[in-house]
Amino acid sequence: MKLKTITLAVSAALALGIGASASAQISNDTIKIGFISDMSGLYSDIDGPGGAEAIKMAIADMGGAINGKKIELLTVDHQNKADIAASKAREWVDQQGVDMIIGGTNSATALATAKVMAEKKKPYLAIGPGSARLTNEECSPYTVHYAYDTVALAKGTGSAVVKQGGKTWFFLTADYAFGASLESDTAKVVKAAGGTVLGSVKHPLSASDFSSFLLQAQASKAQILGLANAGGDTINSIKAANEFGITKTMKMAGLLMFINDVHALGLNATQNMYLTDSWYWDQSPESRKWAKRFFEKMKRMPSSLQAADYSVAYQYLQAVKAIGSDDADKVMAKLRATKFNDMYVKNGQLRPDGRVVHDMYLMQVKTPAESKTPWDYLKVAQVIPGDQAFTTKAESACALWK
């Protein structure tokens, strides 16, 4: 009897001890996710508050807690300024005990944040930024580039357009990290496919008027106008190109376009344009179901970035749950060993350079006649298998993948 009591006490103590050590694995007894994005500027429709909402949906799907430890989300508007993003990341990790940051739109802010997170040894899961430098020259064991990148956009849209006879190109490029990456990555693809680049013009972010840049593009006599910009800048470029009749002599290739851009411009101005994206709300039963949930909250259909925000938060939290810890190195190891499957991604895999490899889609904008319901804008022209969509090992300059 006595022995039994002692055994019970010891095993209870052991159980408690184990319990205590397991809970110590979650730092500060909360799992804190930070989300740094453009919450109010030109990129806030494609990510922004909708992205934050998507992350909240992932947290809700995990029940709001893991092993009784609460999951919290912090958000900040970086206002498209790299210094704000980097200093917020530093403050969050140092003072607030943030365990992981999801990176929103704008590559300049992302490159700065990624450096801070590499120094702090905390996971940085980039969704919104496009620059492939994140997993190339500036790769880090803590950076994950989850959704898309400029190489995938170039290989998707760039090669499709060249294949259809668009041999000579002129670029209209947003004058910062992302635009530069997108232009040079696309130029490489165009040249490799036998095309030529006749020139480019760099415009400031959020330019008020594009007509003058467009006239310069037209003067180049190129067949294709490559729009190496995004969000509101792409919208206003396309609008002005239609107004000035540029579309009569040149074909436009929107190198980074989202469903929100198509929605804002309408199908008349965008029909038949190609775009490369990682996800479309109407691509599978699961995606439609999730998009409907999102629509009920935000009154608009999700962009691929918002879907990816959900997916990355969900996959991260699953990894934390599986190993019972939010320790950065353990979570990263778990993520590397996992095949990602959810409504956004099928058989996604994290490469040593930080790139998550999954299928990409070359989409074509429907004509007004083809579009049957609201937000019925895109059709898949071609599925680009993951191993062809992104940087290859031979092309990579990442020291971690040699």
Q: Give contact residues for another protein (rule: CB under 8 A).
A: 40-42, 44-45, 48, 175, 201-204, 206-209, 211-213, 215-216, 219, 231-232, 235-236, 239-240, 243-245, 260-261, 263-266, 269, 300
Q: Rounded CA gap, 301 and 287, in Å?
A: 11
SS3 label, residue 108: helix
Q: Rounded CA gap, 92 and 99, in Å?
A: 9
Identify the sign of the CA torsion 131, 394, 399, 308: positive
Residue with tokens 């959020």: 206
- Measured from the CB of residue 137, what is the shortest distance to another protein in angstroms? 23
Burial class from Cβ neighbours inside 10 Å (0-12, 13-18, 19+) for residue 115 reads middle
- Measured from the CB of residue 210, what is the shortest distance to another protein in angstroms? 9
- Could you give the count of Cα atoms lying within 13 Å of 306 in the half-sphere of its Cβ? 33
- Measured from the CB of residue 212, what is the shortest distance to another protein in angstroms? 4
Q: 90 or 239: whose CB is closer to another protein?
A: 239
- Measured from the CB of residue 77, what is the shortest distance to another protein in angstroms? 12
Q: 135 or 200: whose CB is closer to another protein?
A: 200
Angle, to 10 degrees, between the axis of helix 285-298 and the axis of helix 48-61?
120
Q: 245 or 374: whose CB is closer to another protein?
A: 245
Q: 47 or 99: whose CB is closer to another protein?
A: 47
- Measured from the CB of residue 87, what is the shortest distance to another protein in angstroms? 22
Q: 81 or 202: whose CB is closer to another protein?
A: 202
Q: 150 or 270: whose CB is closer to another protein?
A: 270
H or E element that contains 264: helix 259-265
Q: In terms of residues, how long is the chain?
A: 402
**Strand spans (E) along 78-183:** 100-103, 124-126, 143-145, 168-174
Instruction: Quickly count: other Cβ atoms within 10 Å of residue 236's Cβ.
Output: 21
- Measured from the CB of residue 329, what is the shortest distance to another protein in angstroms? 38
- Measured from the CB of residue 231, what is the shortest distance to another protein in angstroms? 7
Sheet holding 168-174, edge to edge: 196-203, 168-174, 224-228, 251-254
Q: 268 or 392: whose CB is closer to another protein?
A: 268
